[in-house]
């Protein structure tokens, strides 16, 4: 064996794993554990990303911690002043404000109702609670070691986790995602404060609407949102965290740049790479002694604002976990015009062909006209906006995607200039100024087209110029005095919240819902009708938009061919692309709330041995097997996912006794004893077949008894010197190191 440099890398066979495990520290012994993955939720689009628990090398990793804000639609928004007055007259005691048992009166009225089409009175008239990921609250948070956040919406539920007793996990987030996520959480707390002021403080930690007898009276569609299809999601509802909770949460967050390497517990190497979905959004790679895992969240190949999907960084991983649930039609037929056979030989020709194939596939992925389609959507939205303001109506845009908002601001302002219309644009949000200011100081998180603007001296986005030209006005709230002085209609307003239950959008929608010339632009969701229910009857026009939120189905298989993993974990909904033609790729499908074992890709691990230790090798040939082995004394440690054996502390120079195994050959033992001047004879065997024992009687120079069992050999004698000679004789006929 050639020794070069300071360290020598050797294959670490299975038998040595068992031997070394006894001297590993407790946290390092996790390396031998089996890996698994549990999908807690497949989410619901951009605003509610999927959530997973991943177990790698014995460490539990939580991937994203979102909130299902679409569930807010079962609550009634703050009513308009006139409607609030009428409600107070109907129910002067206002059950939801006092928290008293006066709720019985309206509940009796609801009991008299039969199932009928929903109306606004069926919604829950109380301070809303927030729905977290199903079953996440059932996990012991002290067992979670790492939390990885892939997008700003993926961290909205994080304060619920960090405030729990026993939570001590490391939280890794990209710098941009951390800032945007913090602003989104603070904005959510600010909007909720208005509702809390309206209903008053809760006197009970368990609201009236959550009582089972009241839940059973809800219409079926609302009950399904509250309880889930299986009736087991009620435990996921929580009262919103506070601003202090958000601050405490952000203090526990560790911020990363793209491709920055973080080593967790000296074992796992974690990196974030751009996903293209939103500014700061990312996919993850996790490398450890067992191999590499790539995690793909919702990703966009060609983004108009964020840095593009860096799929090349995911190449070379042994396992790919595909978690992009953005596809809307799982029955879509996927036709692949590519030969997915991967070269299995490693000659230069095959590698060159494979690289050429990857380049062709990469071109096909980038030339899918996704960017063109998105630009066409934005152009159509702008045309509808112009038509509405020309007719004298106002436009409300409660879209919360930062990238889409920035792009719409640019295109709408351009359309207004072309049409010579003098219509003001407003952004009304408690943290709008922070959002806009942040977006203009983060060139490293943006696509190349935006970065080139910086080099040419142009602003990254146009909103700063629009504010300076007084075409765009930014205010923190609808009741801001400066806004009231500046306000004029028709106008175009961007304001939260997309659920139409919180924020300035509620007040503006109540104002304009009866205007047939006004326009509401919504992002398509699971139930737009339920979101609009409190504002009906509506004369206002509604435009539902669908924006690209992930990888198209037809691009999944070419992408996997480029990445060339050994194992792919796909959602069960993607079974139609499971027949990958590459023999080197195994495909497994996972379901919600089911644990999927990840197959082990390495029977052996690698151990780096210091050169000074390697020079002390004293190989011993095993008699029972054709194996050479040696014994070393050193310090075993794990650092950056690499296992190393170094010299360590050599204060003690005492030689250690050999470690033996197996049962001695009794005939050989008698010969060895005779050569050492010891007379011995074989005795009769005794015991059962499974626990049989053989005896060797020693007669001279002194009496002794050797009892040989399946798992042990016992020497019994009153003379220590004789016991030592017999021990050495037994060791000479056994394998030992």
Tens digit of each residue's pLDDT (9 = 90 or more) over 175-234: 999 999 999 999 999 999 999 999 887 766 788 888 888 888 899 999 999 998 888 888
Cβ distance 144 to 169 under 8 Å?
yes
Q: What residues form DSSP beta bridges with 569?
A: 321, 588
Cβ distance 660 to 713 under 8 Å?
no
Angular region, 238: left φ>0, alpha ψ -120 to 50, beta rest: beta
Cβ distance 434 to 440 under 8 Å?
no
Strands lying side by side in the sheet with 519-523: 472-475, 425-428, 492-494, 395-397, 519-523, 541-545
In 247-274, which positions are buried (b, 16+ CB within 10 angstroms) versus exposed (e)?
eebbebbebbebeeeeebbbbbbbbbbb
Q: Which of 99-108, 419-428, 550-559, 587-596 has the lowest mean pLDDT?
A: 99-108
Rounded-to-integer distance, Cα 42 and Cα 24, Å: 38
Question: What's the pLDDT at 622?
Answer: 65
Place of tokens 């978690």: 323
Q: Where are the beta strands (DSSP E) in 194-302?
A: 237-238, 253-256, 262-264, 268-274, 282-288, 291-296
- In the predicted model, what is the mean pLDDT of the chain? 81
Burial class (CB in 10 A: 0-12, 13-18, 19+), 43: buried
Question: What's the pLDDT at 93?
Answer: 39
Q: Is 90 exceeded by the pLDDT of residue 130?
A: yes
Sorted by sequence, the CB contacts under 8 Å of residue 381 that are 6+ apart come out as 408, 411, 521, 543, 545
Q: Crossing angle, helix 720-733 and helix 666-675, to 10 degrees?
A: 130
Nearest-5° angle of CA 382, CA 386, CA 391? 150
Q: Is 90 exceeded by the pLDDT of residue 406?
A: yes
**pLDDT confidence of 662, banded at 50, 70, 90?**
low
| Number of continuous H segments (helices) and E segments (strands) in the chain | 22, 34
| C-alpha pair distances (Å), 512 with each of 490, 517, 529, 540, 546 | 11, 9, 17, 7, 23
Quickly count: other Cβ atoms within 10 Å of residue 220's Cβ.
8
Tokens of 277: 């979905």
**pLDDT confidence of 339, banded at 50, 70, 90?**
very low
Strands lying side by side in the sheet with 693-700: 679-682, 693-700, 704-709, 713-717
Angular region, 524: left φ>0, alpha ψ -120 to 50, beta rest: beta
Question: What's the pLDDT at 458?
Answer: 86
Rounded-to-integer distance, Cα 392 and Cα 455, Å: 41
Question: What's the pLDDT at 408?
Answer: 96
pLDDT mean over 84-104: 42
**pLDDT confidence of 367, banded at 50, 70, 90?**
low
Q: Within its chain, how far is the Cα of 588 from the centroid?
A: 19
Sorted by sequence, the CB contacts under 8 Å of residue 386 that are 6+ apart come out as 415, 416, 419, 421
Q: Which of 18-22, 197-201, 371-375, 684-688 has the lowest mean pLDDT?
A: 18-22
Question: What's the pLDDT at 203?
Answer: 66
Rounded-to-integer distance, Cα 633 and Cα 649, Å: 9
pLDDT mean over 442-454: 91
Rounded-to-integer distance, Cα 386 and Cα 379, Å: 11
Rounded-to-integer distance, Cα 603 and Cα 697, Å: 45
pLDDT mean over 109-126: 74
Burial class (CB in 10 A: 0-12, 13-18, 19+), 207: buried
pLDDT mean over 43-66: 93
Cβ distance 497 to 503 under 8 Å?
yes
Element holding 626 (H helix, E strand): none
Q: Is 60 exceeded by the pLDDT of residue 7?
A: no
**pLDDT confidence of 637, banded at 50, 70, 90?**
confident
| Highest mean pLDDT (candidates 83-87, 135-139, 422-426, 715-719) | 422-426
Q: Which of 536-545, 605-614, 672-681 has the lowest mean pLDDT?
A: 605-614
Question: What's the pLDDT at 576?
Answer: 64
Angular region, 254: left φ>0, alpha ψ -120 to 50, beta rest: beta
pLDDT mean over 346-363: 48
Cβ distance 450 to 443 under 8 Å?
yes
Rounded-to-integer distance, Cα 294 and Cα 275, Å: 12
Q: Is 70 exceeded by the pLDDT of residue 357?
A: no
Rounded-to-integer distance, Cα 726 and Cα 707, Å: 12
Tokens of 443: 């060139």
Short-list 82, 80, 74, CA closest to 130: 74
Is 620 in a helix, a strand, or coil? strand
**pLDDT confidence of 10, banded at 50, 70, 90?**
very low
pLDDT mean over 35-49: 90
Name which residue leads in pLDDT, 347 or 528.
528
Short-list 38, 48, 39, CA closest to 549: 48
| Highest mean pLDDT (candidates 74-78, 82-86, 345-349, 366-370) | 74-78
Q: Is 50 exceeded by the pLDDT of residue 11?
A: no
Q: Is 70 exceeded by the pLDDT of residue 354?
A: no
Rounded-to-integer distance, Cα 692 and Cα 375, Å: 82
Cβ distance 137 to 157 under 8 Å?
no
- Domains of the chain from N-terminus onward: 370-544 (3.40.50.10890), 607-646 (no CATH), 660-736 (no CATH)
Rounded-to-integer distance, Cα 565 and Cα 294, Å: 9
pLDDT mean over 141-146: 94
Name which residue leads in pLDDT, 374 or 313.
313
Question: What's the pLDDT at 30?
Answer: 41
Sorted by sequence, the CB contacts under 8 Å of residue 230 that are 6+ apart come out as none
pLDDT mean over 561-590: 78
């Amino acid at each position: 064996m050639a020794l070069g440099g300071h360290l020598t890398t050797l294959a670490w066979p299975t038998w040595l794993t068992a031997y070394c495990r006894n001297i590993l520290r407790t946290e390092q012994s996790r390396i031998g554990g089996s890996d698994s993955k549990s999908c807690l939720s497949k989410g619901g689009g951009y605003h509610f990303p999927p959530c997973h628990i991943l177990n790698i090398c014995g460490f539990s990793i939580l991937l994203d911690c979102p909130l299902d804000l679409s569930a807010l639609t079962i609550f009634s928004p703050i009513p308009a002043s006139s409607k609030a007055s009428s409600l107070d007259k109907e129910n002067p005691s206002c059950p939801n404000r006092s928290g008293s048992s006066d709720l019985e009166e309206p509940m009796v009225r609801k009991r008299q109702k039969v199932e009928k089409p929903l109306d606004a009175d069926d919604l829950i008239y109380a301070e809303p609670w927030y729905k977290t990921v199903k079953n996440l609250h059932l996990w012991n948070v002290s067992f979670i070691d790492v939390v990885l956040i892939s997008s700003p919406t993926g961290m909205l539920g994080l304060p619920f986790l960090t405030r729990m007793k026993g939570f001590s996990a490391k939280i890794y987030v990209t710098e941009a995602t951390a800032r945007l996520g913090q602003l989104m959480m603070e904005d959510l707390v600010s909007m909720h404060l208005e509702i809390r002021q309206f209903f008053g403080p809760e006197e009970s930690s368990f609201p009236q609407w959550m009582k089972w007898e009241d839940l059973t009276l809800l219409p079926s569609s609302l009950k399904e949102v509250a309880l889930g299809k299986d009736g087991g999601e009620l435990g996921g509802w929580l009262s919103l965290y506070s601003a202090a909770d958000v601050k405490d949460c952000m203090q526990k967050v560790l911020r990363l740049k793209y491709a920055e390497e973080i080593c967790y517990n000296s074992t796992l190497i974690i990196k974030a790479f751009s996903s293209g979905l939103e500014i700061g959004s990312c996919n993850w790679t996790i490398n450890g002694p067992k191999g590499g895992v790539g995690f793909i969240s919702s990703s966009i190949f060609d983004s108009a604002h964020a840095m593009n999907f860096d799929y090349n960084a995911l190449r070379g991983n042994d396992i790919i976990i595909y978690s992009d649930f953005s596809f809307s039609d799982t029955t879509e037929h996927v036709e692949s015009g590519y030969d997915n056979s991967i070269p299995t030989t490693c000659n230069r020709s095959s590698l060159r062909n494979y690289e050429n194939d990857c380049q062709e596939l990469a071109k096909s992925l980038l030339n899918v006209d996704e960017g063109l389609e998105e630009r066409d959507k934005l152009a159509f939205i702008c045309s509808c906006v112009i038509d509405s303001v020309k007719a004298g109506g106002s436009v409300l845009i409660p879209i919360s995607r930062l990238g889409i908002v920035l792009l719409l601001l640019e295109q709408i302002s351009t359309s207004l200039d072309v049409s010579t219309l003098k219509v003001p644009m407003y952004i009304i949000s408690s943290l709008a100024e922070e959002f806009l200011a942040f977006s203009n100081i983060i060139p490293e998180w943006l696509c190349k087209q935006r970065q080139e603007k910086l080099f040419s001296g142009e602003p990254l986005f146009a909103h700063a110029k629009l504010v300076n030209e007084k075409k765009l006005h930014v205010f923190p709230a609808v009741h801001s005095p400066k806004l009231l002085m500046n306000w004029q209609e028709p106008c175009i307003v961007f304001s939260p919240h997309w659920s139409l239950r919180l924020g300035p959008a509620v007040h503006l929608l109540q104002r304009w819902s009866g205007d047939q010339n006004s326009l509401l632009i919504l992002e398509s969701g699971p139930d737009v009708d339920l979101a609009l229910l409190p504002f009906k009857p509506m004369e206002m026009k509604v435009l539902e938009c669908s924006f690209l939120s992930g990888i198209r189905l037809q691009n999944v298989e070419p992408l996997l061919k480029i990445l060339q993993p050994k194992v792919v974990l796909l959602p069960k909904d993607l079974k139609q692309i499971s027949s990958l033609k590459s023999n080197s790729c195994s495909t497994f499908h996972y379901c919600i709330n089911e644990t999927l074992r990840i197959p082990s890709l390495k029977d052996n691990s690698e151990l780096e041995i210091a050169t000074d230790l390697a020079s002390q090798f004293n190989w011993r040939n095993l008699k029972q097997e054709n194996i050479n082995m040696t014994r070393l004394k050193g310090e075993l440690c794990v650092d950056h996912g690499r296992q190393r054996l170094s010299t360590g502390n050599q204060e003690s120079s005492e030689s250690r006794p050999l470690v033996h195994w197996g049962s001695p050959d009794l005939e050989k033992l008698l010969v060895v004893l005779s050569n050492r001047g010891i007379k011995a004879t074989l005795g009769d065997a005794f015991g059962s077949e499974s626990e049989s024992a053989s005896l060797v009687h020693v007669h001279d120079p002194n009496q002794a008894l050797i009892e040989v069992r399946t798992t042990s050999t016992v020497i019994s004698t009153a003379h220590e010197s004789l016991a030592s000679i017999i021990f050495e004789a037994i060791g000479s006929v056994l394998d030992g190191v």
